[in-house]
Amino acid sequence: MVVSAIDVDSAAAGGLFSRRYRSLTFGTLTLISLVAFEYVAVATAMPTAARSLDGLALYAVAFGGTTAAGVVSMVVSGGWSDARGPAVPLRVGVAVFAAGLLLAGVAPVMWVLVAGRIVQGLGGGLISVALYVVVGHVLPEGLRARFFGMLAGAWLLPSIVGPLVAGLLVEQLSWRWVFLATMVLAVPALALVSPSLRGLSWRSQPQQRGFDRPLWAVGAAAGGLLLHYGGQQTGWLSGVLVVAGLAALVVFAPRLLPVGTFRGRAGLPSVVALRGIAGAAFSAAEVFVPLMVSRERGLSPTAAGLVLTTTAVGWLAGSWLQGRLPGWERVPVVGAVLLAVGAAGVATTVSAAVPLVVCIGGLAVMSLGMGLVYPVLSALTLRLSAPREQGVNSSALQLSESLFTTTVLAVAGTLFAAWLVWSPATAYLAGFGLSAVLALLAVAVAFRAR
């Protein structure tokens, strides 16, 4: 049965800020904002931290290790939430996340800071999946798409103000306060969510997909790390590491995703596939735009940053709009088409003859499409999942994005580095062209995800 965004049941009539759901809404938005702020702000603080601790050699590991840890903990959180309920994984996730922030904030040497970042990744993965399961059990279906649209805002707003706040903390206090200030706010955020967790713990249920999923997740995380590290190297070593990482992902990733994901099979597999393909398409364009507009078009760092602000505005607009469009089942197709149109526009700007405004407009259209697609895919995943499979399927949805994006960025980065000396325009096409191809693939998959 197809349910329009305006066809909400009586339980949803009060909205997300009604007395019944207010605490969950505010608490979840705060938690996700903290995770997002930490993700964005660390990029600002890490250069200073690495110099202060004389640890530039471990700089890349501080980011790649966090992502790899998140892959493992998302899988653990999914199975745990299905077997025992999401309440305990969420509480443990907040505690682990806060412990990682504390460890990083007081780190005397760089390897301790890296360890803290890995612990943060473990906590963040537990939190993100457990929250999906909480939403699936607490919110009526008519409110879920709007709720996930608000979560998109909780991710994007820190991306706008996070670098500024982090910069002020680093300059006026210390880089350590980027971690410590976030830690202080984590406990109150959990306290807001806690009332909604009552009744969301139950006795252990059999794991339908086995107990070996965390082991497959470790293998996939190792593959992601190899891709991340290999993409930053040059010469033959880069190629060897990227190939080894891809091989690991080919072996382990299919075991973590629904059967038929890589074929775009109708239903849940295509929903999970679309999340990964769309996320990779957007990232492949977004990461190269600042470099192109500053290196090839002469924009200042501030102006290049303002170009990326269009992504936040477009994504927020799409997230707001998707919960108010009739014909909810058509939203993924509309969003994917916008993604493809925008990606094509961005790709044309590798030619100096194309005005820069085309790049900015294309990026904004891509962001609008992503804002439409993401919340609906999250809601569809919960709709297509049995109550005791929401954790595993929610983790698969988020893993798909992480693994697809890591793979595409590593491949694009390797090609970019190899071609840049020969032809800058061709090098940028490694990212923009791959983005456009993936966006077209997203359109095809979106018809099967309706």
**pLDDT band for position 199 (50/70/90)?**
low
**pLDDT band for position 2 (50/70/90)?**
very low
* pLDDT of 228 higher than 70: yes
> Is position 376 within any domain?
yes
Whether 163 and 286 map to the same domain: the answer is no
Whether 168 and 276 map to the same domain: the answer is no
Q: Most confidently modeled of 51-65, 73-87, 266-280? A: 266-280
Encoding tokens for residue 369?
């499409």
Which of the listed residues 198, 216, 249 is the one where a domain comes to its end?
198
Write the pLDDT tens digit of every residue in 388-434.
Answer: 888 888 989 989 988 888 888 878 877 787 777 788 888 888 889 99
Whether 187 and 309 map to the same domain: the answer is no
Whether 268 and 413 map to the same domain: the answer is yes
Whether 448 and 303 map to the same domain: the answer is yes
Whether 410 and 314 map to the same domain: the answer is yes
Domain that residue 81 falls in: 15-198
Q: Is 196 in contact with 137 (CB distance < 8 Å)? A: no
Q: Quote the pLDDT of residue 11.
A: 46
> Is position 250 within any domain?
no
Whether 171 and 308 map to the same domain: the answer is no
What is the mean pLDDT of the segment spanning 285-314? 76
**Which pTM does this prediction carry?**
0.81
> Is position 167 within any domain?
yes
> Is position 235 within any domain?
no
Whether 273 and 167 map to the same domain: the answer is no
Q: Quote the pLDDT of residue 8.
A: 40
Whether 69 and 162 map to the same domain: the answer is yes
Number of domains in the chain: 2
Write the pLDDT tens digit of every residue in 366-396.
Answer: 999 999 998 889 888 988 888 888 888 898 9
Whether 284 and 368 map to the same domain: the answer is yes
Q: Most confidently modeled of 184-188, 295-299, 365-369? A: 365-369
CATH number of the domain that residue 154 is part of: 1.20.1250.20
Q: Quote the pLDDT of residue 409.
A: 81
Whether 48 and 187 map to the same domain: the answer is yes
Q: Quote the pLDDT of residue 209.
A: 47
Which of the listed residues 181, 198, 215 is the one where a domain comes to its end?
198
> Mean pLDDT score of the chain, rounded to an integer?
81
Which of the listed residues 160, 181, 198 is the one where a domain comes to its end?
198
